[in-house]
């Protein structure tokens, strides 16, 4: 997986915490629909789920998130964090939450 973090996003993560461990948390939303819930959450380091590491910034995600996102993810910062792939914007205006949200029921 190719993960790119812009300089603005790196600075924003480090402004919040010196050692930033962030999970891209994606869960199916609304029953059996094609909608997903996307969140950024502070997390504990899970080495086998790290997809990006540089200067005490760790981005991690589970298999479901990796499969949903695909091969390329870019994280930028403007008015909140923005996550996008070459084909779509996944989320924008995001902040990093303190705890993982409760997952929705799967189909």
Q: What is the pLDDT along the chain (107 residues), one digit of tens a residue?
A: 999 999 999 999 999 999 999 999 988 876 666 678 899 999 999 999 999 999 999 999 999 899 999 999 999 999 999 999 998 999 999 999 886 555 544 44
Query: 77: closest CA among 94, 53, 102?
Result: 94
Instruction: Give me the CATH code for the 2-97 domain, please.
Output: 2.60.300.12
This prediction has a pTM of 0.86
Domains of the chain, by residue range, sit at 2-97
């Amino acid at each position: 997986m190719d993960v790119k973090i812009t300089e603005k996003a790196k600075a924003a993560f480090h402004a919040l915490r010196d050692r930033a461990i962030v999970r891209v948390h994606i869960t199916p939303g609304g029953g059996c629909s094609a909608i997903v819930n996307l969140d950024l959450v502070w997390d504990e380091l899970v080495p086998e789920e790290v997809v990006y590491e540089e200067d005490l910034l760790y981005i991690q995600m589970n298999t479901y998130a990796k499969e949903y996102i695909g091969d390329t993810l870019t994280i930028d910062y403007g008015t909140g964090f923005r996550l996008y792939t070459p084909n779509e914007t996944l989320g924008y205006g995001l902040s990093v939450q303190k705890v993982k949200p409760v997952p929705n029921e799967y189909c």
